[in-house]
Amino acid sequence: MGNRKRKTVVESRSVMHRLVMPEDSNTLGTLMGGVLMHWMDMCAAIAARRHSNTYAMTVTVDRIQFVGSVRVGEVVNLEAEVTRAFRTSMEIGLRVIAENLDTGEKRLCASTFYSFVAVDRHGSTLPVPEVIPETDEQKKRYRDAEERRTARLEDAGRIREEAEAFNRQQP
């Protein structure tokens, strides 16, 4: 780890704004969850790529709860940044804030964590720079990332067993 490059959280920061159009909505005139998840994945991927400066593949998305709906004509602000890097994987924290342009009201709609793995053009994993947390909030997220990663890897073990059992049954 001695010569490993180090980067701050801010260096990976990714911010996106989307005006919700009718084609993004469901039949109630509110933003479709799938469209929002696509934007979330893009925003998180940009943060992962900024940190790693290489290709980044989504490995996990933690629980997503849509706290409130977003109406057509409102703006969705997405903010993502790396919270911690391990060897080849990175945790990205993301939050989604809806904004009413008429009133200026802003509402938190969703927040979650993504895991990305850095890969080369052939899909082989690559080491990523370490993260330097600077603020108290960044330091807390950095510390807590270890526990979240352990929980994800436990899940991954169970899911892998399920996949192997399914694959064994195939002709």
Residues that bind ligand COA (CB under 6 A): 57-60, 86-89, 115, 117, 119, 125, 149, 152-153, 156
The H-or-E segment that residue 19 falls in is strand 14-19
Nearer to ligand COA, 12 or 115 (CB): 115
- Shortest distance, position 148 Cβ to ligand COA, whole Å: 9
- Shortest distance, position 7 Cβ to ligand COA, whole Å: 15
Nearer to ligand COA, 125 or 135 (CB): 125
- Shortest distance, position 48 Cβ to ligand COA, whole Å: 10
- Shortest distance, position 165 Cβ to ligand COA, whole Å: 18
Amino acid letter at 103? T
User: How does strand 130-132 pair with strand 14-19?
Assistant: unpaired
Nearest residue to ligand COA on Cβ basis: 86
Nearer to ligand COA, 38 or 140 (CB): 38
Nearer to ligand COA, 98 or 131 (CB): 131
Nearer to ligand COA, 68 or 157 (CB): 157
With 0-12 / 13-18 / 19 or more C-beta atoms within 10 angstroms meaning exposed / middle / buried, residue 82 is buried
- Shortest distance, position 22 Cβ to ligand COA, whole Å: 28
- CA 125 to each of CA 117, 119, 122: distance values in angstroms, whole numbers, following the listed order: 7, 4, 9
Q: How many helices (H) and strands (E) does the chain have?
A: 2, 7
DSSP line for 60-76 = EE------S--BTT-EE
